[in-house]
Structure 1
Amino acid sequence: MASQNVPAAQQSELVIVANTLPVRREEVDGELGWAQSPGGLVSALSPIVREAGGCWVGWTGGADDAPEPFRHEDILNVAVPVSEVEVAGSYQGMCNSTLWPLYHDAVRPPEYHRHWWNPYVAVNRRFAEEAARRTALGGRVWIQDYHLQLVPRMLRELRPDVSSGFFLHIPFPPIELFLRLPWRRAVLEGLLGADVIGFQTPAGAYNFTRLADRLIEAEPQGETIRYQGRDIRVGAFPISIDTDRYANAALSPEIRERAEQLQQLRRGRKIILSVDRLDYTKGIDLRLKAFLEWLGREDRSIRDAVMVQVAVPSRERISEYQILRRDVEELVGQINGEYGELGVVPVQYFRRNLPFEELIAFYLVADVMLVTPLCDGMNLVAKEYVATRLEDDGVLVLSEFAGAAAELPDALLVNPHDVNAMAATIEQAVTLDPEDGSRRMKAMREVVRRHSVHEWAAQFIEALV
Structure 2
Amino acid sequence: MAETKANNSGATDGSGYGDYDFIVVSNRLPVDRVTGEGGGNSWRRSPGGLVTALAPVMAKTEGAWIGWHGAADEVLKPFDHDNMRLVPVELSADDVELYYEGFSNATLWPLYHDVIAPPEFHRTWWEVYKAVNRRFAEATAESAAEGATVWVQDYQLQLVPKLLRELRPDLKIGFFNHIPFPPLEIFAQLPWRRQVIEGLLGADLVGFQRPSDSSNFLRCVRRFSGHTIKSQHVNIRTDDGDRICRAGAFPISIDVDQINQLAKSPEVIERARQIREELGNPKTVLLGVDRLDYTKGIQHRIKAYGELLEDGRVTVEDAALIQVASPSRERVESYRLLREEIEGAVGRINGTYDTLSNTAIRYLHHSYPKEEMVALYLAADVMLVTALRDGMNLVAKEYVASRTGVNGALVLSEFAGAADHLKQAILVNPHDIDGLKDAIMRAVEIAPGESTRRMRVMRRQILQNDVEQWSQSFLRALDGETLGKTAGSGNE
TM-score, normalising length from structure 1?
A: 0.98
* Deviation (angstroms), 1:85: 1.0
* Deviation (angstroms), 1:178: 0.3
SS at match of 1:82: coil
Tell me if 1:165 matches 2:148.
no
SS at match of 1:173: coil
Q: Is the 8 A contact 1:166 1:197 kept in 2?
A: yes
Equivalent of 1:422 in 431, 436, 452: 436
Alpha-carbon distance in structure 2 between the residues aligned to 1:66 and 1:412: 49
Alpha-carbon distance in structure 1 between the residues aligned to 2:76 and 2:396: 37
Tell me if 1:231 matches 2:244.
yes
Alpha-carbon distance in structure 2 between the residues aligned to 1:173 and 1:52: 35
- Number of the residue aligned with 1:253: 266
Once the two structures are superposed, what CA deviation does each residue of 1:380-410 show, in whole Å capped at 9, x if it has no partner?
0000000000011000000000000001110
- Number of the residue aligned with 1:393: 407
Tell me if 1:25 matches 2:38.
no
* Deviation (angstroms), 1:225: 1.5
Q: Is the 8 A contact 2:10 2:20 kept in 1?
A: no
* Deviation (angstroms), 1:10: 5.2
Matches within 5 A, 1:161-240: 161-228=170-237, 229-240=242-253
Matches within 5 A, 1:208-357: 208-228=217-237, 229-264=242-277, 265-357=279-371
Amino acid at match of 2:182: P
Amino acid at match of 1:252: S
- Number of the residue aligned with 1:16: 24
Q: Is the 8 A contact 1:294 1:426 kept in 2?
A: no
- Number of the residue aligned with 2:148: 139
Alpha-carbon distance in structure 2 between the residues aligned to 1:452 and 1:268: 33
Q: Is the 8 A contact 1:266 1:306 kept in 2?
A: no
Q: Is the 8 A contact 1:104 1:376 kept in 2?
A: yes
Alpha-carbon distance in structure 2 between the residues aligned to 1:382 and 1:299: 25
Cα distance change on mapping 1:4 and 1:63 into 2, 3 Å: closer
Q: Is the 8 A contact 1:196 1:234 kept in 2?
A: yes
* Deviation (angstroms), 1:11: 1.1
- Number of the residue aligned with 1:459: 473
* Deviation (angstroms), 1:131: 0.5
Once the two structures are superposed, what CA deviation does each residue of 1:210-244 show, in whole Å capped at 9, x if it has no partner?
11011113222122121222211100000000001
* Deviation (angstroms), 1:5: 4.7
Once the two structures are superposed, what CA deviation does each residue of 1:129-173 show, in whole Å capped at 9, x if it has no partner?
011111111111000000000000000000001000000000000
Once the two structures are superposed, what CA deviation does each residue of 1:259-294 show, in whole Å capped at 9, x if it has no partner?
111121153330000000000000101110010111
Alpha-carbon distance in structure 2 between the residues aligned to 1:164 and 1:302: 54
Amino acid at match of 2:54: L
Q: Is the 8 A contact 1:400 1:413 kept in 2?
A: yes
* Deviation (angstroms), 1:299: 4.2
* Deviation (angstroms), 1:61: 1.2
* Deviation (angstroms), 1:300: 3.2
* Deviation (angstroms), 1:298: 3.8
- Number of the residue aligned with 1:377: 391
Amino acid at match of 1:419: I
SS at match of 1:241: coil
* Deviation (angstroms), 1:64: 1.7
RMSD, aligned CA: 1.3
SS at match of 1:156: helix
Alpha-carbon distance in structure 2 between the residues aligned to 1:433 and 1:23: 44
- How many pairs align? 463
Q: Is the 8 A contact 2:10 2:19 kept in 1?
A: no
Alpha-carbon distance in structure 2 between the residues aligned to 1:167 and 1:4: 24
Alpha-carbon distance in structure 2 between the residues aligned to 1:268 and 1:158: 61
Tell me if 1:444 matches 2:458.
yes
* Deviation (angstroms), 1:67: 0.9
Alpha-carbon distance in structure 1 between the residues aligned to 2:29 and 2:343: 33
Amino acid at match of 2:249: A
Tell me if 1:66 matches 2:80.
no
Once the two structures are superposed, what CA deviation does each residue of 1:303-345 show, in whole Å capped at 9, x if it has no partner?
2210000000000000000000000000000111111112211
Equivalent of 1:47 in 51, 56, 59: 56
Aligned-residue identity in percent: 49
Once the two structures are superposed, what CA deviation does each residue of 1:33-82 show, in whole Å capped at 9, x if it has no partner?
11111111111111111211210000011112231110011210000111
Once the two structures are superposed, what CA deviation does each residue of 1:325-378 show, in whole Å capped at 9, x if it has no partner?
000000000111111112211100000001111111000010000011100000
Q: Is the 8 A contact 2:20 2:62 kept in 1?
A: yes
- Number of the residue aligned with 1:151: 160
Q: Is the 8 A contact 2:280 2:357 kept in 1?
A: no
SS at match of 1:281: coil
Alpha-carbon distance in structure 1 between the residues aligned to 2:351 and 2:75: 49
SS at match of 2:174: strand
Alpha-carbon distance in structure 1 between the residues aligned to 2:25 and 2:380: 37
Amino acid at match of 2:389: C
Q: Is the 8 A contact 1:60 1:66 kept in 2?
A: no
SS at match of 1:78: strand
Cα distance change on mapping 1:310 and 1:12 into 2, 3 Å: same
Alpha-carbon distance in structure 2 between the residues aligned to 1:356 and 1:4: 34
Alpha-carbon distance in structure 2 between the residues aligned to 1:308 and 1:217: 51
Alpha-carbon distance in structure 1 between the residues aligned to 2:227 and 2:390: 27
Alpha-carbon distance in structure 2 between the residues aligned to 1:12 and 1:462: 19
Q: Is the 8 A contact 1:305 1:346 kept in 2?
A: yes
Between 98-107 and 293-302, report the one with greater CA deviation.
293-302
Q: Is the 8 A contact 1:14 1:52 kept in 2?
A: yes
Alpha-carbon distance in structure 1 between the residues aligned to 2:467 and 2:266: 25
Once the two structures are superposed, what CA deviation does each residue of 1:441-465 show, in whole Å capped at 9, x if it has no partner?
0000001000010111111112222
SS at match of 2:116: coil
